[in-house]
Amino acid sequence: MKIIILKWALRIAAIAILLLGILVGVVLNPTLLYANKTMIGKFTVYHNQPIDEHLKMRLNDADEILKSSELYDSNLKFDICLNDGSFYPSLLEIFLGNAFALGFTSNKIAICGEANFKDNYVEVNNYKWNLTQLLAHEATHCLVFHKVGFWNSNPVAHHPKWKWEGYPEYVARRNADQIDLVKNIEKLNRSMEKDKIEWGISFADSTISPTEYFVNRLLIQYCIEIKNMTYENILNDTTSEQAIQNQMFDWFTKQ
């Protein structure tokens, strides 16, 4: 009996490994689930429907934003996977959760929400995220992975969420109403004065940032612009999130 159980256990394990290998292969090769791919500069766009004429501008603008990052690598190329009929974005969400978009490994970006390339936003549950900034956010995740490697990237490395999501937000949010730290903290304080903290912080272009991500961004902005830390310093620093937040608000009260 024990031998039979062991044989079945080995068979099941072998099947699981095989299925996992197939899944990883599909995720790393999006061309398997798309009808077309088109090269736009350093971007390889995977799509089923004809590409919107505004996409090239959004990609180029996102790349310009990325140049502000200390991790920017002009030689890095990206795969952009559109949500235009392929099962690929939904497959990723099964394992990674619902998202506006997902950036992973050193070059893969999947748009999961409904993209409006002309008006420059991606929509999920009636919330709109600036498309150019979303592309820059997810591409920054790729830059980080490219820099620090698999073992020092989340979810393996378990970096605090404020560090992992705050830096892509810091790089990406470059509109005029997003760059001043004092005004950003004032905006956060106004949102916290309400009876119920809203899910998203609104910007002048009618898009949002999730409030949690907005706070994460402020902490990164404080560390980089006020404490003169690099992102590598931040990842390696052991100061708690609460302590950084206390330092930031203490600095703010003195302005």
Over the stretch 85-101, which tens digit does the pLDDT of each residue have?
999 999 888 888 889 99
- The whole model's pTM is what? 0.91
Tens digits of residue pLDDT in 26-82? 667 898 999 999 999 999 999 999 999 999 999 999 999 999 999 999 999 999 999
Count of alpha carbons within 13 Å of 101, Cβ hemisphere only? 32
Q: What is the mean pLDDT of the chain?
A: 91
Q: Tell me the helix, strand and coil percentages in the chain, rounded to 5.
A: 50, 15, 35
Q: How far apart are CA 197 and CA 191, in angstroms?
A: 6
80 contacts: CB under 8 Å, gap ≥ 6: 43, 44, 45, 46, 59, 109, 111, 135
